[in-house]
Amino acid sequence: MSIIGSNVEKAGLLLNDGQLVAIPTETVYGLAANALDIQAVAGIFAAKNRPTFDPLIVHVKSLDAVAEYVTEIPEKARELAEAFWPGPLTLLLPKKSIIPELVTSGLPTVAVRVPRHPLTLALLQSLEFPLAAPSANPFGYISPTTAQHVEQQLGSKIAYILDGGECRVGIESTIVSFESSTPKVLRLGGLRLEDIESKIGKVEKSLHSSSNPLAPGMLKSHYAPQKPLFLCTKAEMTEPGNDKNVGYLFFDKGHERIEGENCLYLSETGDFLEAAQHLFDYLRKLDASHVQEIRAEILPEKDLGRAINDRLRRAAAV
Ligand code: TXA
Ligand code: MG
């Protein structure tokens, strides 16, 4: 019997019972459990084979609900939440003791966000607890953007996959910390830097914390396919032409167009949103195909191109 379905009530019953359920969000699918139940949360780490020093994001139904879990919401955090929740934005806020240490890997802050997906919002509204949920992939591998992606890799380890269709944003949320006086973006993601700065002014970027074991989700090597991945400029992509043993992941249909089932275009028209939507699915497709290596075109460093390049760089890192 398939474990994929769109029954919110069933998902709620399983979560109430301490089990794991994959949930759709606008960014990527999450592997959810009751954030206040240590045993349930431990199940997430086990299913993903994720080290317990990598903290989880807590998904809540609304900004109002966040007050139950944090001691303080700084003004700029509130402004961002009011502008962009529900949406691809995660805020790091000082935690209350009700949030288990296991969720935050012992850190004094908890990552919170309100996801923008009708099924998951309905689910959160029906529950009396928030949901801890990392991306629903084995640790280090490409994040899932469909229920089928989740089933392929974690199907045997979870009770139910709530199917909300293809994720509309396609890359993970942008993470912002407020520990110093100037807010800091710790992970680029589905909410553009430009949008954040238009609301609260200049922010710092602290994106290379790969040496910091307390924030390993920003590890240098992450989101990685099994095949070797190389990053290229557009010119490098088409030189020396179409090699059938290479999978090509282009941004758009540039001048040196090459064709074949080993050539995928993130967005034919060069649309960043569409490119983000396709990124992980196309990486998976090339990884599952007969090619021996993957070459990916680096995008312009602006708009969602920044976050897409960040994922590609980590996917290429060894
Ligand atoms: O879009 C998303 O954010 C998705 C969906 C499911 O919501 N979730 C997601 O979770 O990407 P995950 O676990 O794959 O990535 C969460 C990141 C990790 O890099 C983790 O290290 C970081 O958030 N994180 C969580 N709590 C933190 C904290 N208190 N301080 C610093 N980093 C934290
Ligand atoms: Mg992840």
- Which residues are near ligand 1 (CB < 6 Å)? 25, 27-28, 30, 54-57, 90, 92, 104, 107, 109-111, 115, 133-135, 172-173, 175, 186, 215-218
What pLDDT score was predicted for residue 207?
A: 72
| For range 273-293, the mean pLDDT | 97
Q: What Rg do the C-alpha atoms of the chain give, in angstroms?
A: 19
Where is pLDDT greater, at 213 or 303?
A: 303
What pLDDT score was predicted for residue 218?
A: 59
Question: In what order do the strands lie in the sheet containing 30-34?
Answer: 4-5, 160-162, 21-23, 30-34, 131-132, 57-59, 109-113, 89-94, 174-177, 184-187, 204-205
54-92 pLDDT, tens digit per residue, is 999 999 999 999 999 999 999 999 999 999 999 999 999
In this predicted structure, the answer to whether residue 222 has a pLDDT above a threshold of 90 is no
3-class DSSP state of 263: strand
In this predicted structure, the answer to whether residue 312 has a pLDDT above a threshold of 70 is yes
In this predicted structure, the answer to whether residue 213 has a pLDDT above a threshold of 60 is no
Q: Tell me how crowded residue 128 is: count the other CB atoms within 10 A of its CB.
A: 7
Write the single-letter amino acid at 142: I
In this predicted structure, the answer to whether residue 13 has a pLDDT above a threshold of 90 is yes
| Burial class for 207, CB neighbours closer than 10 Å (0-12, 13-18, 19+) | middle
Q: Which residues, by Cβ under 5 Å, contact ligand 2, an ion? A: 135
| Distance from Cα 110 to the centre of ligand 1, integer Å | 10
Residue to mutate, 135, 141, 154, ligand 1, most ligand atoms under 8 Å from C-beta: 135
CA-to-CA dists, residue 101 to 66, 171, 246, angstroms: 17, 27, 45
Residue nearest to atom 21 of ligand 1 (CA): 217
What pLDDT score was predicted for residue 211?
A: 41
15-28 pLDDT, tens digit per residue, is 999 999 999 999 99
The region of weakest confidence among 3-17, 90-104, 227-241 is 227-241
In the Cβ-directed half-sphere of 174, how many Cα atoms lie within 13 Å?
32
What pLDDT score was predicted for residue 271?
A: 98
101-117 pLDDT, tens digit per residue, is 999 999 999 999 999 99
In this predicted structure, the answer to whether residue 136 has a pLDDT above a threshold of 60 is yes
In this predicted structure, the answer to whether residue 223 has a pLDDT above a threshold of 70 is yes
Collect all residues with Cβ–Cβ distance below 8 Å to 188 and sequence separation of at least 6.
174, 205, 207, 306, 307, 310
In this predicted structure, the answer to whether residue 209 has a pLDDT above a threshold of 70 is no
Atom of ligand 1 nearest to the CA of 137: 14
In this predicted structure, the answer to whether residue 255 has a pLDDT above a threshold of 90 is no
